[in-house]
Amino acid sequence: MGAALVTLLCRDGASVLAADVNEAGLEAVAAETGCVTRRTDITSEAENVAMVKAAVARFGGLDLAFLNAGILGRPIPDQMEPLTDIASVGRGYRAVMSVNLDGVVFGTLAAATAMQGSGSIVVTASAAGLVPWPPDPAYTVSKHGAVGWVRSIAPALEQHGITINAICPGAVDTPLIDVPGYADELPRLEPSQAAEAMVATALEGKTGRAVSVVAGRDPICATHEFNELLGFS
């Protein structure tokens, strides 16, 4: 998804800094797109700050930030069987929360500090941020947390001219889930479709939304509505 996003942005003339811990992947994307790259561990608050500073130093500012990194809490082979070993959830919990939630929080704060009076942040959550995903509870809670963060921080960022939204894709046809028999019953998005949804969401000018992106649905993108809770605003 990240590679597809960088490809789309570069094709449309954006100046892009791509960040990842996968240096070989970064080199491959840079060779194809001409983007700037930086090895970054997004679980580190300091590295998020350094990443944003590098982008601003290179390009003179920051307009868009896509916080897209993510990992599963349980290996896919384990997810193909009903969850019975509760201890397995605990073993994957800290790592998945560090990438999927800490990285979102640190990335948001670093990006927002650099955006002067305008900007857009898009967080890649998941359909598992909107509905339960019993095969991987740790992943599910991390994505629910990402959606909650977006909805909660949006009013404060809006005061500074910054929008933030979450996209919540269903299954995406990436190597992460490219295992025979895994989620075969789910229609899969192409990475390019997810990337297009990310860019469209960034440019719409709205904020605090969770946008589901589901293959085979018309329209493919839909803003998810939440019920109000009596007594809370």
In a domain, 29, yes or no: no
CATH number at residue 173: 3.40.50.720
Tell me the pLDDT band of 59, cut-offs 50, 70 and 90.
very high
* pLDDT, mean over the chain: 94
Tell me the pLDDT band of 233, cut-offs 50, 70 and 90.
low
Q: 189: which DSSP letter?
A: B
Residue recorded with tokens 């992943």: 139
Q: What is the pLDDT of residue 177?
A: 77
In a domain, 232, yes or no: no
In a domain, 4, yes or no: no
Q: What is the pLDDT of residue 181?
A: 74
Q: pLDDT at residue 225 above 80?
A: yes
In a domain, 219, yes or no: yes
Structure-model confidence comparison of residues 173 and 148, the more confident one: 148
In a domain, 30, yes or no: no
Total domains in the chain come to 1
In a domain, 123, yes or no: yes
Tell me the pLDDT band of 80, cut-offs 50, 70 and 90.
confident
Buried b (16+ CB within 10 A) or exposed e, 10-46: beeeeebbbbbeeeeebeebbeebebbbbebbbbeee
In a domain, 11, yes or no: no
% of the chain surpassing 90 pLDDT: 79
Q: Which domain does 173 fall in, by range?
A: 61-223
Helix (H) or strand (E) holding 222: strand 221-223
* pLDDT tens digits for range 109-162: 999 999 989 999 999 999 999 999 999 999 999 999 999 999 999 999 999 999
Structure-model confidence comparison of residues 123 and 232, the more confident one: 123
Q: What is the pLDDT of residue 166?
A: 98
In a domain, 1, yes or no: no
Q: pLDDT at residue 180 above 80?
A: no
Tell me the pLDDT band of 184, cut-offs 50, 70 and 90.
confident
Catalytic positions, please? Answer: 139
